[in-house]
Amino acid sequence: MNLKYLEVLIVSVVVIATVSGCTSTPEPTASTITRAITPSTVAPGGTISVTLDVNVNDERFYVIEEIPPAGWEVVDNGEFVVDQQGHMKWVQLQDTVDKTYTFTLKAPSTAGNYTFTGIYSMDGMDTPASIAGTSSVAVS
């Protein structure tokens, strides 16, 4: 076989493999959990809806812990489990798919700005991550 012909063949295979993506595996898009709160301002004693959008890739399980501000009352639990006062948790141990959790809270009678905190952990994560999105609501 001609050496020049072999060089052309090898270069062609490398170019085709590179263009088709065979030489590297792209990084997967990170899985996320995002919070939305509506409305962003509520009257004392009024209610808000909190939505947690879970977007997963290949994770087999996840755990979410949401902590609403002190003084807020749960009106509709949205499938969560309370394992300690003021902490709401969702646990998915298998068959994970993108999912939305929604729960309703009643605002306290005291006006002010209130901040939600929450973390989650998914299969393969070394440390928990903070829930992204909206984290505050005003009571006025």
- Give the pLDDT confidence of 15-53 residue by residue, as tens digits: 333 334 443 333 445 789 999 999 999 999 999 999 999
Please report, for the chain, the start and end positions of each structural domain, with discontinuous segments joined by +: 32-139
**Considering only the top CATH level, what class is 32-139?**
mainly beta
Closest CA to 98 of 66, 58, 38, 139: 58
d(CA 75, CA 45): 11
Sheet holding 117-122, edge to edge: 81-84, 87-92, 62-67, 117-122, 129-130
With contact defined as beta carbons under 8 Å apart, do 114 and 105 qualify? no
pLDDT by residue, tens only, the chain of 140 residues: 544 433 433 333 333 333 344 433 334 457 899 999 999 999 999 999 999 999 998 888 999 999 999 999 988 877 777 666 778 898 888 888 999 999 999 999 999 999 999 999 998 889 999 999 999 999 99
**What element of type H or E holds 89?**
strand 87-92
Contacts of 78 by beta carbon, 8 Å cutoff, 6+ apart: 50, 101, 102, 103, 104
Residue type, 29: T
Predicted local distance difference test score (pLDDT) of residue 70: 92
Q: Provide the 8-state DSSP code for 43.
A: -
